[in-house]
Structure formats: C-alpha cells, structure tokens
Amino acid sequence: MSVHSIVRWAGKKITSVIKTGTKGLHEESAIQSVVLVNSLSIALSTLVLVIGPIFYLLTGNPYIVFPALAECIIAASALYLNYLNKHTTAALVTFLNQCAAVLYFGLALGDVLLLQLMVVFLIAVTFLIFNKSRIRRFCLLTALTVLVALEAGHYFHVGQFIYLDGQTAFFFRWCSMAGMLLLIVLTGRHYVRSSDFRRIFLYQVTHELRTPLNAVMLAGQLIKRELTYKPDARRISALTDHLLAAGNNADNILGNVLQLARKESGRHDELKAVPIAPRSFFSQIVELHGVVAQYSSVSLDFDMENMPPFISADPAKLHVITSNLLSHAIQFADRNSIVTVFVRGTADNRWEIRVSNAGRGIPDDRIEHVFEPFVTEGNLAVEGTGLGLFITRAKTLSMGGRIDVENQPGERTTFIVSLPLIPAEPGPSPNLVPDAGSNGAPLNLHVLIADDNDMNNLLLAQFLRRMGCRVSMAVNGEEAYRQAEHTSPDVIILDYHMPVMDGKEVLVKVREEASLKHIPVIMATADAYQSTRQLLMEAGATAFLQKPISFGMLQEALGRCVK
C-alpha cells in the first residue's frame, strides 16, 4: 500500500470519527456543533497524549501527567456521548473539562502558561456549540469565574505548587500556545465561511457578554449605594470601586470588539458633536482609570492649557480615543512611574491629546505596525487584544484628526492625537463616571420593567424600590404588553432583545394603543450601535439606556419622563 493510499484511508477514518453522532440531524447549525465538539475532543486528546509524556520526561512530575491523562480520557468521552446522540451532554463535558484543566494548570503552574487566552477561546466556543440561552449563560458564568480565579491566584500568589526551570517553562509556554492556535484553526475551519460571519459572531459574543456584565455593574452600584449609609465600611466601599472600575474596563474592551465588527462590515459612525467642557470631561476619564492604574503601581497625572471652557466634539469618540490610549499607556508603563494626560490648544486652530508613559518603549521596527489590528508589543508578560490603537486611529481619522507617536526606546512613549479646535457655547457636559444615583425625593411611580434575564430584573427592581417606585416585572415582550394593558404603569423600561415579542414590537404596540400611547418608554439594551438607538427612538422610545446601566443615568431618564 502506497503512502498516498494510507493518507487517504486515514483521512476517511478521521472524517468518519469527526462526524460521529451527526446521523439523523438535519439542521446545519446542529451538525456543525457536533462536528466541532468531536474535532475539539480529538484535538485535545491528541495534544495531551503527545505533550503530556514529553513533560513527564522533562520534569518527572506526576502532578502534570496524571491530571493530563484524566483530561484526555474525559475529552475522548465526548465522542462516545455524541455516538449516543447526547449532544448537549457531550458539549458540556468538553467545555467543563477544559475549564477544569485551565483552572488546575493555571493555578498549579502560576504564570507559566497564558491560559487566560484559553478562557477567551472557551467563551467564544460557547456561542458555537450551545443553542440554548440558559446553557450559554451558565457556561459564560463558569468561564468568567475561572478567569477571575486565575487572576486572583496570580495576583495574590496562591495555588502554585509546580515550579519549572526557565528553559522548561519557555518550552511549556510555546507548546500550550501552539495547542491553542490549533484549536482556533479547527474552530475557524468549520465556522468562518463568509465575510459576514466575523461581524455577526463578534456582535453576538459582545452582546451576550454585556448581559452578565450588566448584572455585575448593577450589583456593584447597589452595594455602593447601600454603603453610603455605613461610614464604617470604607474598605468594602473601596473594593466596590475596584469592581465598578473593572466592569468599566471590560465594557471598553467589548466596545472595541464591536467597533471592529462595525468597521469590518463597512459601517461608519456619524459625527455627533455636542458642547464639552474639556477639563471636566478628561478628568472623568482619568478618574475611571485610576483603580486600574493603582493595581499596576502607576500614578496618573492630568493637565490642560490653552483650551477654551467649551469645545464642540463627539464625546463618544473622544472617550474611546482617550480611554484606549490611557489603557495602553498604563499597560506598558514601568511600575511606580507616572502616566500623563496633557490636553492643550495649539496655534493652528487645533488641539492635542498627549498621553505619555515611562517604559521600555516601542522598538523602531514595530512603530509602523502599532496601529494595525491584533498587534501587541510582543511581551508575553503583558496581555492585550491588540485592537485599542487600531480603533483609536480609526476614530481619530473620522473626526478629521491625525495620530502620531513620539518614541524613545527604553525611556518614554507619547501618543499625540491632533484634532480641529471648534469653540462652543456653554452647555451640559457629558457625565462619564457611572454613579449609584442620588438620594432624592421618592418618585412614587409605578414602573413596569421587562427583561428576559431574571437577575437584571431583580437588581433593577431593587434600585427602583429604593427610589420609592412600585415595580412590576415581565420576562418577555408579550407578558410586558399584557401587564401594561392591565395595570397602565407610569413608566415602562424594556429590554430590546426578548423572546416571544422583542422590545421594539412592544414599543410599537404601546404607541398604537390609545390607552397606553401616553406612557413614557425607556429602552435598555446591550446593543451599542447608533443605528439601533436611532431605530428605537424613531419607533417612539422616550429615552435610551445602554447596558451596563448606570443608576445615575436611569435616575436622570426617569426624571425626564415624569416632567
């Protein structure tokens, strides 16, 4: 038998194994999910069988090889489960097995492996192998819990009991990265079929992630609000500030991914210029990054000169530009150094945002590539998506500006954004810092809230009751409309994406019903696209809130509704 014949025979056998459990399935998405689970099962088992013995020979440590063997057996069991047509169980076993392996090896080996990347991969896979929202949310929560546990273990230096020499650790790291790349290629081979898939996939991932993130931010704001009544709880209050800052940072990352999806689809945001008080605006952005800077032992400094009291600019784009530059500067700054944000007017009717840090700088041969997507500084000790500077450049150009870099390798790096200076008349400047709401007079309103996420409903209801409101809850659009007809609430708060009947359909029906059309309707959604906001406002929404919801913004929206 020739080599070519052997290869063809082996290929057919592998294909047959990969398709285990697909007989009788008719939906393409279901078939792809089963094929993906089988592919991951084979790939994981093979990787462990190859790499496990090598590291046992290198280290002689049974605490690596035996857990790896258990991981291999459990991964292979997914094939048998699919053979029995227990597809959901097979997918759950594959997912939870990897979560357990990531947590064990991530803690046991310390920061030798960049297993946070594997958690990101698992989050992405969640949307590809599970169709039920409840299972997706469970898996998302599990993956986020593993990520938090890993970060906590590394930060507090707990859990590590396997120590490797430098050469073995380096070899181990690169083998694990090669394995993760193989898994990503296997996943992409089945799903990246068209130019639209990446945009749709990224949108779905970021939208779904904002749902649990919204619950985290709501809970953090409620805790902070409760602590205002307990002056002796300062330490807990500081931890709540850390929680809210981390949530805000995660929301910025999701925003960058959404912007990439939008840019890939050929869509561009319109310029929405409003009056901005630059000193207040940039001070708030620096404040938002203060907690993250503390964790990195970095101080932040802000100054401004030669700027008018108010300028006309797009606050959303300025926020993205400055936040991305500031996050990048903090990430690559030396410990115990100062990151500066300097805003100044120049002589040619322009103004600059200069963000500077002290660090190792950017190598000269990489300067021209820093604004490309998925490019990082190449430091394995520093994580990042490589999207921040790419999005920053796109936003800057869309505002008629330019971005440059002043780089002194080993000393300082300064990113300079230059924009047209347009003075403006005084007006209300945007508030960027999420607050827990003020303790004003009771509103005495009946508020109907509708969200298919029970946790979001309960947390939002708790805040509204604290404000003196009577609250009714619904978990889908049809139920919300029935309750509105029966009780005629003073205000309705609708999630956009709900089962049975979505928020927009409810909004349209409310505006068409004579007995309900006077009721203010606030739309709340994790969909961050401007086109969605415009669509809902044109359909008759009174106000629009983007998740994660700020209680301060909700309080303002309710205040406008009852005037």
- Residue pLDDT, tens place only, 219-274: 666 676 666 666 665 556 555 655 555 566 566 655 655 565 555 555 556 667 88
Q: Which pLDDT does position 3 carry in this prediction? A: 62
Q: In degrees, to the nearest 5, what angle opens at C-alpha 47 toward C-alphas 43 and 51? A: 180
Q: How confident is the model at residue 356 (pLDDT cuts 50, 70, 90)?
A: very high
Distance of alpha carbon 452 from alpha carbon 442, whole angstroms: 27
Q: Is the pLDDT of residue 400 over 70?
A: yes
Determine contact, residues 449/472, Cβ cutoff 8 Å: yes
Per-residue model confidence as pLDDT tens digits over 141-158? 888 888 888 778 777 777
Q: What is the distance, to the nearest Å, from the Cα of residue 118 to the centroid of all Cα atoms in its chain? A: 15
Write b or e for each residue in 355-384: b if 16 or more Cβ atoms lie within 10 A of its Cβ, otherwise e.
Answer: bbbbbebbeeeeeeebbebeebbeeeeeeb
195-227 and 454-466 helices, crossing angle to 10°: 40
**Token pair recorded at residue 490:** 């003073």
Distance of alpha carbon 221 from alpha carbon 95, whole angstroms: 32
Q: Indicate the range of 35-39, 123-127, 220-224, 330-334 predicted with least confidence.
A: 220-224
Distance of alpha carbon 139 from alpha carbon 133, whole angstroms: 10
> Is residue 560 packed enough to be buried (19+ CB in 10 Å), middle (13-18) or exposed (0-12)?
exposed
Determine contact, residues 518/511, Cβ cutoff 8 Å: no
Q: Which pLDDT does position 375 carry in this prediction? A: 54
Averaged over 410-421, what is the pLDDT? 90
Distance of alpha carbon 205 from alpha carbon 127, whole angstroms: 7
Q: Which pLDDT does position 446 carry in this prediction? A: 92
**Token pair recorded at residue 384:** 């990042």
Mean pLDDT, all residues of the chain: 78
Q: Indicate the range of 14-23, 170-179, 234-243, 544-553 predicted with least confidence.
A: 234-243
Q: Is the pLDDT of residue 197 over 60?
A: no
Total Cβ atoms within 10 A of residue 104: 18
Averaged over 333-347, what is the pLDDT? 91
Q: Which pLDDT does position 56 carry in this prediction? A: 73
Per-residue model confidence as pLDDT tens digits over 50-67? 777 777 777 777 777 788
Averaged over 327-336, what is the pLDDT? 86
Q: With 0.85 as the threshold, say if the pTM is over it.
A: no
Q: Which residue has the higher pLDDT, 75 or 244?
A: 75
Q: Which pLDDT does position 240 carry in this prediction? A: 61
Distance of alpha carbon 144 from alpha carbon 210, whole angstroms: 12
Residues counted in the chain: 563
Determine contact, residues 472/483, Cβ cutoff 8 Å: yes
Residue of 94, 101, 84 whose CA lies nearest to 41: 94
Q: Is the pLDDT of residue 345 over 80?
A: yes
Q: Which residue has the higher pLDDT, 146 or 479?
A: 479
* 137, 202, 471 from 205: Cα distances, Å: 11, 5, 31
Per-residue model confidence as pLDDT tens digits over 491-542? 999 988 888 888 889 999 999 999 999 999 999 887 656 667 888 888 899 9
Q: How confident is the model at residue 378 (pLDDT cuts 50, 70, 90)?
A: very low
Q: Is the pLDDT of residue 195 over 50?
A: no
Q: Which pLDDT does position 268 carry in this prediction? A: 56
DSSP H helices, 332-475, are: 388-398, 454-466
Percent of the chain whose pLDDT exceeds 90: 18
Total Cβ atoms within 10 A of residue 156: 8
